[in-house]
Amino acid sequence: MNRFIKVGEAAQTLGVSIQTLRRWEESKQLVPDKKTKGGTRYYDKNKLLGFKKQESEVTIGYARVSSHDQKKDLQTQKEMLEAFCISNGWTYEIIDDLGSGMNYNKKGLKRLIDLILDYKITRLVLTHKDRLLRFGAELIFTLCELRQVEVVIINKSEDTSFEEELASDVLEIITVFSARLYGSRSHKNKKLKECLSEFTNGNNAKSQNKIRPQKKAN
C-alpha cells in the first residue's frame, strides 16, 4: 500500500478542505512530503495521522468572573491556568468570560460547548468548579464524559469569592423575577384602570342623558 497520498485524500484523512491544506502549506504549518515537477503534491499518510492527533490534543483553560471590577481576579485565573498547562506540557488555549454564573448565554461558554461537541479538545482545565457555572456545571461535565474530554480542577477547595458571587447571583434572580412580577401586575393594573375608566365614562354619559330636561311642545 502506497503511504504517499494526494491532496484530496490527505484533506479527507484530516477532515479539512483542500483550501485549508493549501493555507497550511503557505504558513509552513503542514507541507507536502513530495512534490512532482508538474506540481502534484503528496503527503505521507503516517505523518498526517500524527498531525491529526496532535491537532486534536488541545487543552482549554476556562476562566470567568461576574463583573468588571473583578478583572484582576480574571487575570489571576488566566495566569494560573497558563502556568498549570505549561508545567504539564499541554498545548492550550484560554477562554475567558465576563458574566454571572447563572448566565448560560455567555460567548465563551457557548464556544467551549461547541468545541466539546465537535471533538476539538481533549481536556478542560478550571481553577475552581464554580468558574464554569454556578448551577448546572455537571451538565457540561457529562458532555465532557460523552466526548472523552478530561476535566481537571486545579483547586477543589471552595473559592474565596464563592459567598460574594453567590449573593450576587441570588440578587440577580430576585431582580429578574421581581421585574417580571411587577411588570405583569403593572400591565394588569393598567388594563383594569382602562376598563374602569370606560365603565365610568359610559355610566356618566347614560346619567346625563337621563337627567337632560325635555323641551315642552308649544
**Which residues are identified as catalytic?**
66
Q: What pairs with residue 96 in β-bridges?
A: 63
Question: What span, in angstroms and rounded, lies between the C-alpha atoms of 112 and 124?
Answer: 9
Q: Cα–chain-centroid distance for residue 121?
A: 15
CA geometry: angle 22, 28, 30, nearest 5 deg: 65
Question: What span, in angstroms and rounded, lies between the C-alpha atoms of 171 and 173?
Answer: 5
Q: Is 218 exposed, middle or buried (0-12, 13-18, 19+ CB in 10 A)?
A: exposed
Strand order in the sheet with 59-65: 92-98, 59-65, 123-126, 150-153
Q: And the C-alpha cell for 6?
A: 494526494
